[in-house]
Amino acid sequence: MPANHTTPLSEGISATTLDDETREAALGADEQLPGAPRSERPHIRVFDATIDAVSAALLIVMVAVTTYQIVMRYVFNSPLPWPEELARWSFLWLVMLGAVTATRLGSHIRMTMFVHRLPTSTRPLTDLVAIGLSASSLAVIGYLGIRLMTDTTALSVNLGVSYSWLYAALPVGAALSVLMLLRARVPNASRGAVMIAVLFGLAGSLVVTTLIGRSILVIFDTTGLAILATLALMLLGAPIAHALLLGSVIAFEAGGLPELVVANNFASAVSTNFVMLAIPFFVLMGALMNASGITSALIRVAIAFFGHWRGGLGQVNVATSTLLGGLSGSSSADTAMVAKTLVGPMEKSGYSREFASSITAAASITATLLPPSISFLLYASLAGVSVGALFMAGVVPGLLYAAALMVAVWWLSGRGKYKVRAGEKAPTRERLLALGYAVPAFLLPIGVLFLLRAGAITATEAGAAACVFALILGFAVFRQLRPSGVWAATLESARDTAVILFLLAASGPLAWLLIAEQVPATLAAALANVENPSLLMAGIVVFLLLIGLILEPPPAMVLVVPILAPLAEAAGLDLVHLGVVLVLTVMIGQLTPPVGGLVFIAASITKSKVGKVFWEMRWLYVPIAIVLGLIVLIPAVSLWLPAVAGF
């Protein structure tokens, strides 16, 4: 390892991992549904640990069989027929069992903007309503899953196993999640009140599946009813995934549509999309790299090359997020990691805690623009575009975004109350040592892009290979990874994956309904006379900015991409360009009230006042807006590199 930099900038900076407090902040504790407290009963703790362990084991199986297929195909030139099918089946079970853990921890994403504006005294009631609605949604998908099992007679092509075993994941996961709801602890509400809420929810599922088709709701347009019901459930505080599911079922029942389509599309949204497997693989890769101590290595590189610039640790903060972005792909994880590591030293060097927190939140968006971006993977799965092209398209915008923030930090840090001290310029030897130590980590995202460009492996196989490479780096190069760290990273990745993919699966029925009702085609026809693509893109940006104000990025993308992608394609817009614009625009909502998820994460970890962090963010909106404008108005900013690389 290189010697540590001894200037004031490096004092107090060390590697860190996400502990429970930091993780809770990253999840947005105020947005969560009340979860179940850690039980004092040994058998319940064993039960919870078993669910977690099975989820993690399924993720390990997925990585192992995908890696095995890579070896068989490219080393022995003898690909096998069954690994992909086994990985996809394991994926659905991982999502459903991981959702059980998410329910226990209260990690499912909610939109609480409305219910949290009510008097504080109503908070227990709104939480109980949300629990009841979640129980209704779970009961419906469990019931439909059982029906799908009993109606299925087909065997899988390669494994020769009945599809009933695949669809069994739905009722098993739903039933276990309902049990977790019964264990939820709602502040200022009794255990009996929670049980009553769950029972009311289960009764509500019977009403939905038996009486909706005979109610006045049958006179409404099916698509409009689905959207309105989903929005109403979200406003009531139901987790967005459960609102999507229950809203779709209400519309299907009222419209007389086959309800099994809901369960089938829920399952197929995960089990038939091999590209989507890349999401948990790259999430695991990022977790493994964090557990390997890569953060400290990247901070040393940032200090060595940028610590002497005006702005000092502010420049290091942006540079660190940019370097981490090529490894984690998650803005939330980067915000939590950098906030915990750098904001304290930044405060000592002259920054206010709130301004340091605002820089941290803004800089972490580079993780969603630089490969391997989880947001790009999600968009690619929803829009059906090349993952490699999207990864390449995000490189220039990501670097441009980082450069704009560094210019802003340079400008602000020398003026008024923002005056801060910079460090000494690191000697060349120290720069080379820091860079040499971190080079293996830099090679990982570069290698992924190279393999995708060469067509050697798919995005999913690249994710599995990246996990293996991360293990090699952690154990053999950085030598800070331990088996316990690997297991903890796998558990964390399984939980995070389940939250994202359960939401994506829950959007499947609504997406099917929108397509069946030809909503995208109707919108495209209505906009056929719009001759200026830039005008259409500007309208899309305004729409996305409004969506980003009220929704987290994953549910926002799940809701709008199935509509916008066909619309943009019909209007002649490039879907790769749209993907970069969409991801950045929606992420800006993470820096603005009322959602401002990244700001809340940074403020929670640094113990800052959220309002003051938002106020300090005001100057950073300017460079962000300039970068967004350049990307929107000059498509070549995004499309030049993919074209040069041959995507």
Which of 26-30, 341-345, 425-429, 488-492 has the lowest average pLDDT? 26-30
The C-alpha atoms of residue 89 and residue 263 are separated, in whole angstroms, by: 15
The C-alpha atoms of residue 51 and residue 299 are separated, in whole angstroms, by: 36
The C-alpha atoms of residue 431 and residue 278 are separated, in whole angstroms, by: 34
Q: What is the predicted pLDDT for the residue at 564?
A: 87
Inter-CA distances, 304 with 2, 300, 350, 401, 404, Å: 11, 6, 19, 21, 20
**Average model confidence (pLDDT) across the chain:** 85
Inter-CA distances, 413 with 76, 308, 360, 436, 591, Å: 57, 13, 15, 30, 20
Q: What is the predicted pLDDT for the residue at 311?
A: 83
Residues 6+ apart with CB under 8 A from 389: 576, 642, 647
CB neighbour class for 214 (10 Å; exposed up to 12, middle 13-18, buried from 19): exposed
Q: What is the predicted pLDDT for the residue at 271?
A: 83
Q: What is the predicted pLDDT for the residue at 101?
A: 93
Q: How many helices (H) and strands (E) does the chain have?
A: 29, 0
pLDDT tens per residue across span 315-350:
888 988 888 776 766 787 788 778 888 888 888 888
Q: Which of 112-116, 541-545, 621-625 has the highest mean pLDDT?
A: 621-625
Does residue 24 carry a pLDDT above 60?
no
Report which of residues 330 and 563 the model is more confident about.
Answer: 563
Helix (H) or strand (E) holding 434: helix 428-454
pLDDT tens per residue across span 367-388:
889 888 888 988 998 888 888 8
pLDDT tens per residue across span 137-177:
999 999 999 999 998 888 888 888 999 999 999 999 999 99
Q: Which of 274-278, 452-456, 540-544 has the highest mean pLDDT?
A: 540-544
Cβ burial 112-133 (10 Å sphere, 16+ → b, else e): bbebbeeeeeebbbbbbbbbbb
Please answer whether residues 337 and 16 qualify as being in contact, where contact means their C-beta atoms are separated by less than 8 angstroms.
yes
Does residue 585 carry a pLDDT above 50?
yes
**Mean pLDDT within 14-18:** 45
For the chain, the distance separating the N- and C-terminal CA atoms, rounded to the nearest angstrom, is: 38
Phi-psi region of 514 (alpha: psi -120 to 50; beta: other; left: phi over 0): alpha
Token pair 């850690």 is found at 38
DSSP 464: H
Residue 454 CA to chain centroid, in angstroms? Answer: 27
| 28 band by pLDDT with thresholds 50, 70 and 90 | very low
Helix (H) or strand (E) holding 145: helix 123-151
CA nearest neighbour of 169 among 501, 514, 511, 558: 501
**Mean pLDDT within 521-526:** 69
Angle at 557 between CA 23 and CA 589, to 5 degrees: 65
pLDDT tens per residue across span 101-140:
999 998 888 877 778 778 888 889 999 999 999 999 999 9
The C-alpha atoms of residue 567 and residue 520 are separated, in whole angstroms, by: 6
Which of 155-159, 272-276, 426-430 has the lowest average pLDDT? 272-276
Report which of residues 267 and 331 the model is more confident about.
Answer: 267
CA nearest neighbour of 3 among 341, 436, 308, 295: 436
**Mean pLDDT within 450-462:** 79
DSSP 37: P
Q: How many CB atoms lie within 10 A of CB 81?
A: 10
Considering only the C-alpha atoms of the chain, give the largest distance between any 2 of them, rounded to a whole number of Å.
78
Report which of residues 31 and 267 the model is more confident about.
Answer: 267
Q: What is the predicted pLDDT for the residue at 10?
A: 45
pLDDT tens per residue across span 567-582:
888 888 899 999 999 9
Residue 516 CA to chain centroid, in angstroms? Answer: 28
Model pTM score: 0.83
Q: What is the predicted pLDDT for the residue at 9?
A: 47
CA nearest neighbour of 642 among 590, 581, 576: 576
Question: Is the torsion defined by CA of 124, 125, 131, 134 positive or negative?
Answer: negative
Does residue 304 carry a pLDDT above 90?
no
Q: What is the predicted pLDDT for the residue at 530?
A: 67
Residue 603 CA to chain centroid, in angstroms? Answer: 20
pLDDT tens per residue across span 54-101:
999 999 999 999 999 989 988 888 888 898 889 989 999 999 999 999
Q: Report DSSP letters for 493-532, one per residue.
A: HHHHHHHHHHHHHHHHHHHHHHHHTTHHHHHHHHTTT---
**How is residue 645 written in tokens?**
């690389």
Does residue 26 carry a pLDDT above 50?
no
**How is residue 200 written in tokens?**
């009311």
Inter-CA distances, 630 with 245, 404, 581, 592, Å: 38, 12, 10, 20
Phi-psi region of 239 (alpha: psi -120 to 50; beta: other; left: phi over 0): beta
pLDDT tens per residue across span 193-240:
999 999 999 999 999 999 898 888 888 888 889 989 998 998 898 998
